[in-house]
Structure 1
């Protein structure tokens, strides 16, 4: 396996294990294809799972400063020539890295570095407060605002139309700062919230350099995760911004200033919070009248957030699954109901028993104990694919839509429900799917249902 990510034999073994688990979960027939099982249970296929988890590992390694020594691959290297390929072995991790960079060329190597600790654990950071309720936080803010002894600065981060913006606003000095953090494929609202706090500290430092009278700096943010991150010294996503925040806090403290970061609820009518919310949105280029404008400038330091790269890897894995599912020649009965794999398929099973859920999967895959399927599988004692009503083939569509022998039962159960004449609608909507299960059970057309009823009667 030298230089390979996995062998075909290993892949087939893992696929068999997942298929076996999916059959146990869903109650599907063994004849159901692996591709259909994955879609019906919304399980990412093994091949895509391997790629995604390998990519996650590479992304995590990229956040380490000692990446070359710990992982055995190099970044920012030119494509090897034919001579290079014959001289040196390409590691599995290098192959994964090269695969990702060939697909994602924008800012991949500018991913953030996340150290174990940003500052010494004993450092004295800013004081942080998160009140138990929004009412308490609002009351505390209003009480402190009336006293007018703190330099109050409001911050916010915003994501709108795929762009991320950050802003800070100081009503006392009438100063406002905003930056554009890039698209949501590079940054997050959480990182923008941290950047807003960094901007607020810049305003506070300018105020201190002018010997401003207010010695206490009060920074207000409506993001609790940002407050928690500042309170701890551990490395985490947004580490480069957190390090900048720690540096600015230390400089203010050395200058005799105290720094407090408080959580306040959003959209409750606090003027400073409402104003900075608009400023953060406008930093993305958004305007209230619907027109687009130029975004604000980027901050001096801007790195791709690790979580956005992981999200991109997950999206790529799902796209590969979709493309493979559309080209597959197996599981076409399921494809007619679910042409694109989606988690929504699981909603069909909400409120169903295990037996009912298994029956629904069998109906959707058309691998079910009806004569057409059993005859094709050469099951003993099944000598014809015909239905007992005289139709040539006893299929799922025939039983649910056309069987003349069971028309009265079908009319009674489905009544006048909209969509009862469309097989995709019947097996694709929760209400009609439940009716279809009830109908099939009452027909006693399946052997397992007849056996179960005999057991109940005895």
Structure 2
């Protein structure tokens, strides 16, 4: 937060991804020196949380930010602003680390697209872009503005295709990570409903209102039937102990 306020860059770009009500979106905005309102904004609606993750949305936000940076640099150079600086602020450390790492992660093709764009940008432009982290709840105006824009994108708002990076114009591949998360949630919900219909549910709830708690489910998956039975007895205080 302090670093952002001390940043003297003439142009500041903020990017963000958002998951809202089962849908996912991303946005990037530009704030110019002396103007508290965004002068450029790009939004992209990815789809549902069953198809895409918020991590992907953050990566898409970075792509949108790079698209804005290219436009800003071109316009600045046309005006003769050779010494202008651009700062790109993002609040997701995982994406920032991925952009600087060669280790493959889900949605890697988005990260690779950003890298290619950044490489060509820095080769062609005298103006440079600095990628920086900012806390999601910093109270910084730019961060608040892009948060609203990303939520709007999650709700369905998207910029014209012609204004978007080429990789986004045809839509995105469905994420394996999102499919896995959706399937796990479906299985967990089915198990919970089955448990609630079980005659053991009411009996166990009287003994332990918090059963089945998350840690129990994780432990249960690593235990055999006898060990699981002992765990339940310990939790409920009904384990017979020989004295």
- Report the Cα distance in structure 1 between the residues aligned to 2:232 and 2:100, rounded to whole angstroms: 51
Q: Distance in 1 between matches of 2:85 and 2:201?
A: 63
Match of 1:197 among 43, 48, 62: 62
Per-residue deviation, residues 381-404 of structure 1 (Å, max 9, x unmatched): xxxxxxxxxxxxxxxxxxxxxxxx
State the number of aligned residues: 210
1:46-445 alignment, distance < 5 Å? 138-144=1-7, 147-148=8-9, 150-172=10-32, 174-210=39-75, 211=77, 213=81, 214-255=83-124, 256-285=126-155, 294-296=156-158, 299-300=168-169, 301-318=171-188, 334-337=200-203, 342-343=212-213, 346=216, 358=230, 361=233, 433-434=236-237, 437=238
With normalisation by structure 1, the TM-score equals: 0.41
The structure-2 alpha-carbon separation of the partners of 1:345 and 1:151, relative to structure 1 and needing over 3 Å to count, comes to closer
> Does the CA-based 8 Å contact 1:284-1:296 persist in structure 2?
no
- Bigger radius of gyration among the two: 1
Change over 3 Å in CA distance of 1:271–1:325 after alignment to 2: closer
* Partners of 2:91 and 2:109 in 1: CA distance: 21
Cα 1:249–1:359 change in 2 (3 A) is: closer
Q: CA deviation at 1:246?
A: 1.1
- Cα displacement (A) at 1:338: 6.1
- Residue 223 of structure 2 corresponds to none
What 5-or-longer segments of structure 1 have no aligned partner? 1-137, 286-293, 350-356, 363-429, 442-447, 453-458
Q: Once the 2 structures are TM-superposed, how far is the Cα of residue 306 of structure 1 from its aligned partner? A: 2.1
In proportion to residue count, which structure has more strand? 2
Superposition CA RMSD, Å: 3.3
- Choose between structure 1 and 2 for higher RCO, CA contacts under 8 A separated by at least 6 residues: 2
